[in-house]
Amino acid sequence: MKFHPLEQSYLPDGTLRLILQVEKAHLLYVGFFLEAFEGFCNYTTLQRKKPLLQVDIAPDYIESMQEILAFMQSWDLANIEGEKICSK
């Protein structure tokens, strides 16, 4: 999935806040997977027309979510999307 962090900061309660820039075609996928980790993190879009996500990661899950995000970045959706198109 094509996304990368633009900003990173810690909130007073220890929550890690990431601002991710996501390729528009991958925004739905990134949101879908982040939704699966409800409780680990919360996310929201920052501006309606821009593919930016604010992801707040709970202090107890920072290390796990960083591993999950790294795995998601390594995933090549181009091949997956290409296979769907070719199989129709």
Give 5-57 as a DSSP string: EEEEEE-TTS-EEEEEEE-GGGHHHHHHHHHHTBTTEEEEESSTTS-EEEEEE
Q: Determine what percent of the chain is predicted with pLDDT higher than 90.
A: 69
pTM of the predicted model as reported, rounded to 2 decimal places: 0.82
Is residue 83 within a helix (H) or strand (E), and if so which, with residue range? helix 77-87
Q: pLDDT tens digits, residue range 11-51?
A: 999 999 999 999 998 988 999 999 999 899 999 998 878 89
